[in-house]
Amino acid sequence: MDQLTWTGTAGTLLLPLLQIALLALALGLVAKLLFVLAGLDGPRLPSADGTIAARSPGDFASLGIRYSFFAAVAAIFFMLAAGAVMPSPVEAGILGAMAVRFWPVWAALAATFVLSLRFRRRLGLYGKLFDSTVGMIGFAIVMFWVFTAIFADVIVTHDAFAQLSGLKNKPPGIAAPDSAYGWYLLGGDHLARDVFSRMVMGAREVLKIAPAATLFAFMVGITLGLPAGYFGGRLDTVISFLANLVLAFPVILLFYLLVTPEIRNTGIPVVLAALLFIFPIIFLTVLFNSRFYTDPTKRNIYVGLTLLIGLWAYSGLAFNRDPLGIWSMQPNMLNVFVSVVFVNSPGVFRIVRGLVMDIKARDYVAAGQTRGEGPWYIMLWEILPNARGPLIVDFCLRIGYTTILLGTLGFFGLGVSPDSPDWGSTIDDGRKLLNLFPHPAVTPALALMSLVLGLNLLADGLREESLKD
Amino acid sequence: MTASASSAASSTWDPSQPILEIEHLSISFFTRLREIPAVMDFSCTVMPGEAMGLVGESGCGKSTVALAVMRELGKTGRIVAGSMKFKGRDLAKMDDEELRHIRGSEIAMIYQEPMASLNPAMKIGAQLAEVPMLHSGMSKDEAWKLARQIVADVRLPDPDRIINSYPHQLSGGQQQRIVIAMALMAKPALLILDEPTTALDVTVEAGIVDLVKELGRKYGTSMLFISHNLGLVMDVCDRICVMYSGEAVETGSVTEVFDKMRHPYTQALFRSIPLPGADKNARPLISIPGNFPLPHERPKGCNFGPRCDYFEKGRCDETDIPMAHVPGDDRHDTRCLRWQEIDWSAPPAKRAVKEKAAIGDVVLKMEDLRKYYNVSTGAFGGGASKVVKANETLSFEAREGETLAIVGESGCGKSTFAKVLMGLETATSGSIMLFDENVQSTPIQKRNTDTVSQVQMVFQNPFDTLNPSMTVGRQIIRALEIFKFGKSDAERHQRMLELLDLVKLPRAFADRMPRQLSGGQKQRVGIARAFAGGAKVVVADEPVSALDVSVQAAVTDLLMDIQRENKTTLLFISHDLSIVRYLSDRVMVMYLGHVVEMGTTDQVFSPPYHPYTEALLSAVPIADTKVERKRIVLEGDIPSAVNPPPGCPFQTRCRWKSQVPGGLCDREVPPVQMLADGHQIKCHLSAEVLATMEPVIKIAAE
Amino acid sequence: MGLFVLRRLGVMLLTAIALTFVVFYLTNLPPNLEKLARTEGSVRMTDEAVADWIVKNGHSGSVFLRYGQWLGVVPGWTYTDEKGQSRGRCFQIGEDAAAAPRFCGILQGNWGYSTFFKSPVAASLGEKLAATGWLMLAVMLVMVPTSLLLGVLSGMREGSATDRTLSTFSIATTATPEYVSGVILVALFATASTGISPLLASYGLIEPNKTLFLASATSAMDDITFWNFTLPVMTIALYGIGYIARMTRASMTEVMTQQYIRTARLKGVTFRNVVLKHALRNALIAPFTVIMLQFPWLLNGVVIVESLFNYKGFGWTLVQAASNNDIPLLLACSVVAVVVVLLTQLISDIGYVFLNPRIRLA
């Protein structure tokens, strides 16, 4: 079996096209920037007879950028599409073969988009996301990785931990004669494991922790930020001081102090977990109580259920003492999780506090006060729902930030098992031989970058759409 | 058009020709979904030295016209038809460079919010001097000199200090004078004023209006004056153009349009505004039914058709209606098909006069109420703390079924008073007796449900009064839940629907989100919510001031109807004396935390006045040519409540101060004088001097 | 104003004390001390021996007292063993205990002795800080002008093609943490097998099997050149550029919609001067704060980049100290980090006040 080429048979035609397009794109961008700086670029004005005045040089550069960009996108698309219809990886090339492996993701993405576009007018802010190109691209990228994480078992070509002899540091497309699939699509790493499969499994590692940790950080930040902003005064001073304390710590230093095997022996992570994990329970309990205290039956049901499920999960996650053994977390996972929540919470706190201080001056808040609502009802039901726009945007951005933080942890080898396929530690493994064999490090690096980019674009689209109201 | 051709055109312009001639102008905004026409077929002419008023409710397109003249329509706005000739040259066809030469030098603009219109990071002098430096190539020193002179011209004290300060160091009135000065720096031929006084207090507004009029005369500047306030337009302008939903509906000289209106909308508008010369019995307000149409939902034919009393089906809703000239008058046009058929002198249809509910027992009694705040001065809370006296010895009582109006400008303490009464803040001293219960030091959390539900509030800003993320019905039901009304959800739902009926809203609104409602509708929901627990005392904090005039009347009437049925005590906080005169039984005038005058409406609105009341009455613009009023313009601005003057709070601006011997006003807070039955004034003036006061407002004999 | 600075300094001092205490507590946890005992003594020490070592070396007792000693506000510990030999925090065995000063914490300038580098902390850290200082300086020189320019250019005409292109670039760089951009930059510019180096070599522009840029910045410790310093600097700067450019853009677009900008336009000011004279100063207030508050994150970048490019500066030292359980060095590193962060916060606060006339004179 031969080594695979990147683009297979389709590439002979499309590859030169792609090169030309990319070159033109780069030239166009440089030219445009120069024109803008030289002031040769301006808005077009209707001249006296109402026609459009002569185009400025900047406009030509813009046109060039646009067409070369479309050409490049088209070339890449056709390469992937051509690869997908080719019978074997040899003709499909590496890109095509990867496109085939991702088929469940494509199917799921297509279904999501068809359904969402169909019903977008009934879906609120989520539906409006599909009015924004940037938002849609971001959403597509994020969902790509989400589906990849879900279907990882189907997508991988090899076991992410299996080492095949003779494939150490081999370049992408190398034939793996001893395996069922036959090729290492993105080459082998320094322990002769399949880079492609590790990258796919890495998505699962990242997406398992990042959103959950961000959600917990939001619970903590909201539960503390609401009263700090609403009541102000000494309470605010104290909590804000503590939050600034955490924010003033360089994150890396904090990680080096908080995520170590030694610290696990002291039980500090468990104490932190006990402290941080109680917040979601407090949040939900207060949420339901403030709303339904006028109707005790309903209140008792909601609060009771919250406490039952919440404390059950709490005992398992924080103390690993779940009587039924369903909720539990690895000690090193708990350590990482708690640290990430701890680092993120003050940021959320600050945003929530600022939003509350802004919204609490509104008349509907005063109206709530004058009819004798309790402070928690006003915070949770009058203020919080109206702060949701900025919070959702920040949530997306913060998942990205958390992903970066998790990568940082992996990069310094903190808190993860040595052969874990998560992207941060894979980059760390690969960088030692970066000069000679870049592919094991570049692959997860690009994956991580694209996920965070997707989240940022999604946040941008959401911000744009939520401002339109 | 090249630059040389345009300068040739302007040199051939004959000063007897119109300075601005807008013909059949149509402007649209383009969104992703559709084209939204903002102005259609708009024509008007401004002669040199003439002041043209553009009047209409919000959304009628008057500001769009102003911005179109400046060619400042943003990315989405575009002129789709018509021409705008300025000194004979079409503005719509100018290129950027030509426009830049005209803007600021030939046409200048004055804006609604002075604070936002000035660059916060540039000194006043630099912002002023920029204009002549740009347009006539003046040197920096000369330009600053000119700036100093113009600042003195707009009657600002201490011009040397002012040109070296930043905008935030000036008060609102001073900032607006700077904006005016900036507009005058290049001695423009045309001045566009976009609601220049809306953000200011009435007494400050009066000063600005006088200044604008005087400067207009002095420099012979033509003016395009945009306002929603008919009285103001009458004060300032020679000619008027009434706009409705993107169209000019009537145009003519101010006296002709005011006295001989020939369009049903103009007539309805005049009938819906209260005049301080009349009360509810002499001249009941008539609101315009229905709602202002949204730009993309305009009806066919006459835009005003669906709300018009004279609407004729099959005729008014058939074709676009052109402007028709009213013969005999000077350039008086109307956009009505039936104007010749309508009997314009017929009085409005009489409505059943509703019996006023009898005024009952005292329900609310305040005695010597004081509310002081400790604020720390200095930029960062480091300085010494100061006491702000927001309310100073407030004593009054309010009875069942009575409307007590609380009048005052910004900083007078009326909002603090409301907060203390509601229990959102506790008073520093004094007592508040509510149904024989002292609630002075009871914050709202500690009050029992009955007390809370009996005292409710209607808020000022309709866009802020409802929670934007909860349905209308849900918000009312929540109030019912809190007031422990009803035993089941079904019962409360039923009561919510009844409350919607009460405020004359369709029941289907229960499921709407607040953003789907207009300002007036939101205010109605706010009223329904306030009355959910059967409130006995309702504090209405400027409930209609943010609404358009045609809606104001309807909401005011609604409040009064509910009051009559429920025998509610209404505490009506307002700065608008016209509406106060219209609906209140008694009036309390406040200035810097002091009650300066209190009495029945008749007592307060006729002499003897407190000097402040007198000035306030005089400052209110009145849209009635038959009313004569004495012009009293107060000097300066309202002092800050943080740093009030010693002695009488009003002494810095009082025109009667010289009548008090011995400089008493500077030293001592005046005692409360009881004049007639229940009429009290806080002033040092002797009874003899007070007796010499003349009425401010006189209805001229016809 | 003076009072404000004083209050601010007070809060800073409190923050510094709290933070250093937390670091002290976490680095002096019993497991860390046991590990230290075993590295200093021998790996096969019995538990009793370890406990004994800890007592003998002044690591026992209340953590508050030990923190006080380290800080220099509590007299240093002394220990006299059964042989009558005494030693303590402020003197070595054999030295005269009476002659030694009583206090010897960081307030007295005693930063301790690095157990990993086997040298006084103060000396080695100073040298490392200087190296990092050059790196930071270069980063700032690249990052600040570039990002402000990009932000202003894209913010002055919101929604234009320029804006969209530059915004996409900014979003992309903020999505690329240093360990990713570093890897990609090295792969592109500093490997002999991929990227542009083989291409350039084939054109004969560089020697074969050499790379355009160097993937290691170790040589920059002695001699900074364009070829060994560009990649580390760009790696740190890229992330910041995107972030600050986005902030500048947001601030610029907001300012451009303000009414005073319309006022200026309607005065007949040219677009160029609207941007330069009216918008810029107002638009730069917010990014200034952001640039200053970027420092904690820059510190992160420094740590990552110095490990990635093997540049022996402050960040590299921090990693070495942390992974080798070098308690005095790690403490010193955190003191430096905390002080840098707090100082930039103070500068940001004061600078904000000076940039914004509304606050200055209110």
Contact residues on chain C for B116, CB-CB shorter than 8 A: 258-260
Whether the predicted pLDDT of B181 surpasses 70: yes
pTM of the model: 0.86
Buried b (16+ CB within 10 A) or exposed e, A124-151: eebbbbbebebbbbbbebbbbbbbbbbb
- The mean pLDDT value for B344-349 works out to 75
Cβ–Cβ under 8 Å, residues B129 and C277: no
Q: Residue C219 belongs to what H/E stretch?
A: none
Q: Are B67 and B108 in contact (CB under 8 A)?
A: no
Chain C CB within 8 Å of residue B378 CB? yes
Tell if the CB–CB gap between B464 and A363 is shorter than 8 Å.
yes
Tokens of A80: 């992937």
Strand, coil or helix: B221 = coil
Q: How much is the average pLDDT of B654-664?
A: 81
Q: What is the pLDDT of residue A54?
A: 54
Cβ-Cβ contacts under 8 Å, C4 against chain B: 378-380, 382
pLDDT at B154 over 50: yes
pLDDT-based confidence at residue B8 (cuts at 50, 70, 90): very low
Residues in chain A: 469
Alpha helices in A39-129 (DSSP H): 57-85, 89-101, 103-118, 124-128
The whole-number pLDDT of residue A51 equals 43
Is a pLDDT exceeding 50 seen at residue A405?
yes
Between the two ends of chain B, the Cα-to-Cα distance in Å is: 54
* Cα distance between residue A211 and residue B139, in whole Å: 62
Q: Do A366 and B484 touch (CB under 8 A)?
A: no
Is A427 in CB contact (< 8 Å) with chain C?
Answer: yes
CB-CB: which of B102, B119, B135 is closest to C264? B119
- Asked if B504 has any chain A CB less than 8 Å from its own CB, the reply is no
Question: CA-to-CA distance for B162 and B72, rounded, in angstroms?
Answer: 30
> Does residue B661 carry a pLDDT above 70?
yes
Give pLDDT, residue B280: 63
d(CA C252, CA A397): 21
Residues of B in contact with A47 (CB under 8 A): 95
Higher model confidence: residue B283 or residue C339? C339
* pLDDT tens, position by position, B438-453: 777 777 777 888 788 8
What's the mean pLDDT in A295-313?
Answer: 90
**Pairwise CA distance, residues B11 & B6, whole Å:** 9
Inter-axis angle of helices B489-502 and B472-482, nearest 10: 120
Q: What percent of chain A shows pLDDT beyond 70? A: 95
Residue B444 at interface with chain A, using a CB cutoff of 8 Å? yes
Kindly report the length of chain B.
702
Give the pLDDT band of residue B566 (cuts 50, 70, 90).
Answer: confident
Tell me which residue in B109, B135, B166 faces C361 most closely, judged by beta carbons.
B166
**What residues of A are in contact with residue B453 (Cβ under 8 Å)?**
371-372
Provide, rounded to the nearest whole percent, the portion of chain B with pLDDT above 90: 4
Q: Tokens at residue C281, please? A: 């100063």
Which portions of chain C are predicted below pLDDT 70? 1-2, 93-94, 97, 358-362
CA dist C315 → B35, C312, C318, C330 (Å): 58, 8, 5, 11
Distance (Å, whole) CA B571 – CA C223:
80
Q: Give the one of A29, A37, A411 whose C-beta lies nearest to C165's C-beta.
A: A29
Confidence of residue A227 (pLDDT cuts 50, 70, 90): very high
Q: Which of B623, B639, B523, B617 is nearest to B206 (CA)?
A: B617
The amino acid present at B300, given as its one-letter code, is: K
* Touching chains, C (3+ CB pairs < 8 A): A, B
End-to-end Cα, chain A, rounded Å = 59
Beta strands in B33-171 (DSSP E): 35-46, 51-55, 77-86, 89-90, 107-110
Q: For residue range A106-162, what is the model confidence (pLDDT) as tens digits?
A: 899 999 989 888 887 777 778 888 888 888 899 999 999 999 999 988 888 888 888
The one-letter amino acid code at A204 reads R
Distance (Å, whole) CA A366 – CA A352 = 19
SS3 C149: helix
Q: Which long-range contacts (CB under 8 A, 24 or more apart) does C227-233 make?
A: C229/C135, C229/C138, C231/C182, C231/C185, C231/C186, C231/C189, C231/C190, C231/C309, C232/C135, C232/C182, C232/C305, C232/C306, C232/C308, C232/C309, C232/C311, C233/C135, C233/C138, C233/C139, C233/C142
Instruction: Give the SS3 label for residue B654.
Output: coil
For A404, left (φ over 0), alpha (ψ -120 to 50), or beta? alpha
What DSSP string runs through B168-213? Answer: GGS-HHHHHHHHHHHHHTT--SEEEEESTTTTS-HHHHHHHHHHHH
Q: Which of B261, A262, A26 is nearest to C325 (CA)?
A: A262
Peptide bond into A323 cis (omega under 30): no
pLDDT in tens, A175-223: 877 777 777 888 888 888 888 889 999 898 889 889 999 999 999 999 9
Residue B9 has pLDDT above 60, yes or no: no
Question: What is the helix, strand, coil percentage profile of chain C, to 5?
Answer: 70, 5, 30
Q: Which residues of C touch A42 (CB under 8 A)?
A: 271
In this prediction, residue A42 carries a pLDDT of 52
Angle at the Cα of B550 from the Cα atoms of B544 and B555, rounded to 5 degrees = 40
Residue B1 — very low, low, confident or very high, per pLDDT cuts 50/70/90? Answer: very low
Mean of the per-residue pLDDT values of chain B:
83
Averaged pLDDT, B150-167:
87
- Cβ-nearest to B464 among A50, A364, A370: A364
> Is the CB of residue B100 less than 8 Å away from at least one CB of chain A?
no
- For residue A279, the tally of other CB atoms under 10 A from its CB is 20
What amino acid occupies position C142? V
pLDDT of residue B382 exceeding 80, the answer is no
Share of chain B above pLDDT 70, in %: 94
Band the pLDDT of B302: cuts 50, 70, 90. Answer: confident
Both tokens of residue A126? 């989520």
CB contact under 8 A, A263 and C345: no
Residue A284: pLDDT band with limits 50, 70, 90? very high
How far apart (Å, rounded) are the C-alpha atoms in residues A226 and B642?
A: 30
Residue in this structure with the two tokens 């119109």, named with its chain if needed: B18
Residue A353, pLDDT score: 92
Determine the Cα angle at A154 with ends A148 and A159, to 5°. Answer: 100
- Which chain B residues contact residue C353 at CB under 8 A? 379
> Chain C residue closest to B119 (CA)?
C260
Model confidence at B484: pLDDT above 90: no
**What are the Cα distances from residue A118, in Å, to A111, A122, B171, C198?**
11, 9, 54, 50
| A345 has a pLDDT exceeding 90 | yes
Higher pLDDT, B377 or B355: B355
Q: Count Cβ atoms within 10 A of the Cβ of residue B702 and give its class: 0-12 exposed, 13-18 middle, 19 or more buried.
A: exposed
- Measured CA to CA, the distance from residue B227 to residue B236 in angstroms comes to 11
Structural element, H or E, at residue B367: strand B362-376
Distance CA A303, CA A284 (A): 8
Sorting pLDDT into bands at 50, 70 and 90, what band is B2? very low
Going by C-alpha positions, the residue among B283, B309, B287 that lies closest to residue B552 is: B287
What is the rounded distance in angstroms from the CA atom of residue B270 to the CA atom of residue A110?
Answer: 60
Interface with chain B: mutation pick from A363, A383, A469, highest number of B CBs within 10 Å: A363
Q: Which residues of C touch B182 (CB under 8 A)?
A: 263, 267
- Cα separation of the two ends of chain C: 11
pLDDT at B379 over 50: no
Confidence (pLDDT) at A379: 92
- Range among A162-171, B3-12, B279-288 with highest mean pLDDT value: A162-171
Can you tell me the distance from the alpha carbon of B287 to that of A301, in angstroms, rounded to the nearest whole number?
50
Q: Which residues of B536-559 are buried (b: 16+ CB within 10 A; e: fewer)?
A: bbbbbbbbbebbbbbbbbbbbbbb
β-pairing, B594-600 vs B627-629, is unpaired
Average the pLDDT over each of A38-47, A333-342, B206-215, B398-407 and give the range with the smallest value: A38-47
- Residue B278: pLDDT band (50, 70, 90) is low
pLDDT band at B4 (very low <50, low <70, confident <90, very high): very low
A446 touching C, CB under 8 A? Answer: yes
Query: ipTM greater than 0.90, yes or no?
Result: no
CB atoms B457 and A367 under 8 Å: yes
User: What average pLDDT does this structure show over B109-135?
Assistant: 88
**Can you tell me the mean pLDDT for A299-322?**
88
Closest CA to A222 of A274, A271, A268, A287: A287
What is the distance in angstroms between the Cα of A57 and the nearest Cα belonging to chain C? Answer: 13
Which residues on chain B are in Cβ contact (under 8 Å) with A45?
A: 95-96
Cα separations in angstroms, B243 against B54, B66, B192, B338? 7, 13, 17, 18
Mean pLDDT on B418-426: 83
Return the minimum-mean-pLDDT range out of A333-347, B34-48, B315-329. B315-329
Helix, strand or coil for residue B699?
A: strand
